[in-house]
Amino acid sequence: MSIQRRALLLACLGMAALPALGAAQSAANPATQPAATSAPALQLAGRWRAGLDVRDYWVSEKYDGVRGVWDGRTLRTRGGETVHAPAWFTAGWPTEAMDGELWAGRGAFGHAQSTVLRQQPDDAAWRRMRFMVFDMPAQPGGFDTRLKALNTAIAQANRPTTLQAVPQQRLADDAQLQALLRAVVRGGGEGLMLHRADSLYRTGRSDELLKLKEHEDAEARVVAHLPGQGKYEGAMGALLVETRDGQRFRLGSGFSDAQRAAPPPIGSWVTYRYRGVHAGSGLPRFATFVRVRADEPQYRAPR
């Protein structure tokens, strides 16, 4: 099968595998479901940089899962789709809004993503999941105050197998921050998150919420499959991808043979890792494919 025909087949399969998660449940029970799948307004992380004072921040592990938002009744993704978790998973949760990560453990992003995106919940798969809560958006006051409310609410709920507060700590200096980062990464973690202690919950990106990782990564949308040559003849050689700001580049490394034979569908979003950007063009240097990112709010199933 040619790469072009294979791409068309995968695009069709992608439509079947990744429907709009909220639509079916909302139609079945409109009185108890959100009217639309509009993305919730969330606080987003910027990047830690030299010169900031770590003493102003609470520091926690960055969990590699699927962003989740609990509104006191319904669990939704960052993109606004209803998460079809089993009833027992959210039973007994607080009625206050919570912002966190649906997580299956270190190195298990694939399990978390596939579990969260299912329209019919897989009970066994959800047994491995936890909602790791790092903020309560509707609570007034700075992060110090919200963190106390968060820990109190989760302790009172007493649902440790499904609902946990993200452990937070304060550090004295950058040396401690870098040592913690190395320890988390050596243990299989992704990196660190830093919440400014006195900051309100504000949507968008700012220095009030930051992430720190040993490598940089970002997301881009697949525009085309570029045919391979040599040992990759008849398979995908590279993806042509487009960043959020409209820049396009070839993403050709980091793929397994199986992924080259069945590349991510056109229109899907992928995560790539890189080492800085080129002067002038701003394009990423040494970009490497990491995975398909179907939980991105901009994700659309191929048509």
Residues identified as active-site: 62
DSSP labels, 108-176? -HHHHHHHHH-SS--HHHHTT-EEEEEE-TTS-S-HHHHHHHHHHHHHHHT-TTTEEEPP-B--SSHHH
Q: Could you tell me the sign of the dihedral formed by the alpha carbons of 255, 261, 266, 269, in that order? A: negative
What is the distance between the alpha carbons of residues 61 and 70, in angstroms, rounded to a whole number?
20
Q: Could you tell me the sign of the dihedral formed by the alpha carbons of 282, 288, 291, 292, in that order? A: positive
In terms of C-beta density within 10 A (0-12 exposed, 13-18 middle, 19 or more buried), how is residue 92 classed? Answer: exposed
Question: Which contiguous run of DSSP H or E holds residue 90?
Answer: helix 87-90
Residue 261, classed as helix, strand or coil, is helix
**Spatial contact of 237 and 227, defined as CB atoms under 8 Å apart:** yes
Question: Which contiguous run of DSSP H or E holds residue 242?
Answer: strand 236-242
Q: Could you tell me the sign of the dihedral formed by the alpha carbons of 137, 142, 143, 146, in that order? A: negative
What is the distance between the alpha carbons of residues 129 and 45, in angstroms, rounded to a whole number?
23
